[in-house]
């Protein structure tokens, strides 16, 4: 069994400015950096053998305090990135709603069937993330792995971890910035969800409340 501690990045400049980032590489806000420290505090007593992160700076800088406290390196992976948002990259949410009303409506109301114009479908994202998590787990048998990633990957994987079809993604809300989810990758290739979107340690540093991502 491989234990995977999966962390959503802290509040980003995109979150604060209501901009859809996708692969756009913007950093954390001051609040996001505080959340990263709070999450590192939360995990201080937990054994961690290896740390991976999306190569986007908002995810990397969220797990950086965890790595620094342990004098560990962070292995970057572009396969852990947020959804490729195509033409939506760097657009304000209100602009996406105005320019792409049909696909925006699907994103808001039936996200499992959504696609960013010119980018990935949510299903394609889920396949990408699962393939990468499977790879990481198989390369680290018996270890505890910390992973920094993004909101949509976690939201879609909650369906996978709970044995539900991708169409059920609409029934899971966005996990909070810098929240902690723990899953176990079992020897038979299945996952067992141990902790879902733990965020009590962040009560003093809340994020902007988001409906989009």
* Segment 46-89, tens digit of pLDDT: 999 999 999 999 999 999 999 999 999 999 999 999 999 999 99
Q: Which is nearest to 145 in space by CA: 5, 10, 1? A: 5
pTM of structure: 0.96
> What is the full DSSP assignment across 107-143?
HHH-GGG-B-TTS-BHHHHHHHHHHHHHHHHHHSTT-
The DSSP symbol for 12 reads B
Tokens 């965890």, residue? 66
Catalytic residue among 9, 23, 104, 212: 9
Confidence at residue 212, expressed as pLDDT on a 0 to 100 scale: 72
Confidence at residue 3, expressed as pLDDT on a 0 to 100 scale: 98
Q: Which is nearest to 185 in space by CA: 34, 50, 49, 3? A: 3
Q: Which is nearest to 197 in space by CA: 162, 156, 154, 138? A: 154
Q: Which two tokens stand for residue 62?
A: 């969220």
Confidence at residue 4, expressed as pLDDT on a 0 to 100 scale: 98
Confidence at residue 62, expressed as pLDDT on a 0 to 100 scale: 98
Confidence at residue 19, expressed as pLDDT on a 0 to 100 scale: 97
Catalytic residue among 104, 150, 201, 212: 150
Edge-to-edge, what's the strand order for the sheet holding 2-8? 74-77, 50-54, 144-149, 2-8, 180-185, 191-198
Q: How many angstroms separate the CA atoms of 115 and 83, rounded?
A: 10
* pLDDT above 80 (res 146): yes
* pLDDT above 90 (res 208): no
Instruction: Please tell me which residue, 210 or 164, carries the higher pLDDT value.
Output: 164
Q: How many angstroms separate the CA atoms of 206 and 204, rounded?
A: 6
* pLDDT above 80 (res 162): yes
Q: Look up 9 and say whether it is catalytic.
A: yes
Residues 6+ apart with CB under 8 A from 128: 79, 120
Q: Look up 201 and say whether it is catalytic.
A: no
> CB 146: neighbour CB atoms within 10 A?
25
Q: How many angstroms separate the CA atoms of 181 and 199, rounded?
A: 9
Per-residue pLDDT band for 35 (boundaries 50, 70, 90) equals very high
Average pLDDT, the chain: 97
The DSSP symbol for 42 reads H
Q: How many angstroms separate the CA atoms of 199 and 3, rounded?
A: 19
Per-residue pLDDT band for 206 (boundaries 50, 70, 90) equals confident
Confidence at residue 213, expressed as pLDDT on a 0 to 100 scale: 75
Q: How many angstroms separate the CA atoms of 198 and 176, rounded?
A: 8
């Amino acid at each position: 069994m491989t234990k995977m501690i999966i962390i959503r990045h802290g509040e980003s400049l995109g979150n604060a400015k209501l901009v859809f980032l996708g692969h756009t590489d913007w950093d954390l806000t001051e609040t996001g950096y505080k959340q990263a420290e709070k999450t590192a505090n939360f995990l201080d007593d937990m054994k961690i053998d290896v740390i991976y992160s999306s190569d986007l700076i908002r995810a990397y800088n969220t797990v950086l305090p965890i790595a620094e406290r342990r004098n560990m390196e962070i292995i970057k992976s572009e396969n852990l990135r947020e959804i490729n948002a195509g033409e939506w990259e760097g657009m304000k949410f209100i602009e996406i709603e105005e320019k792409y009303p049909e696909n925006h409506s699907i994103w808001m109301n039936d996200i499992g069937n959504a696609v960013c114009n010119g980018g990935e479908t949510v299903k394609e994202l889920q396949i990408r993330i699962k393939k990468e998590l499977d790879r990481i787990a198989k390369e680290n048998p018996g270890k505890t792995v910390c992973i920094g990633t993004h909101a949509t990957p976690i939201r879609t994987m909650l369906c996978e971890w709970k044995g539900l079809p991708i169409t059920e993604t609409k029934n899971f809300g966005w996990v909070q910035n810098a929240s902690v989810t723990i899953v176990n990758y079992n020897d038979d290739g299945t996952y067992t969800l141990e902790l879902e979107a733990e965020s009590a340690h962040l009560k003093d540093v809340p994020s902007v409340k988001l409906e989009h991502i």
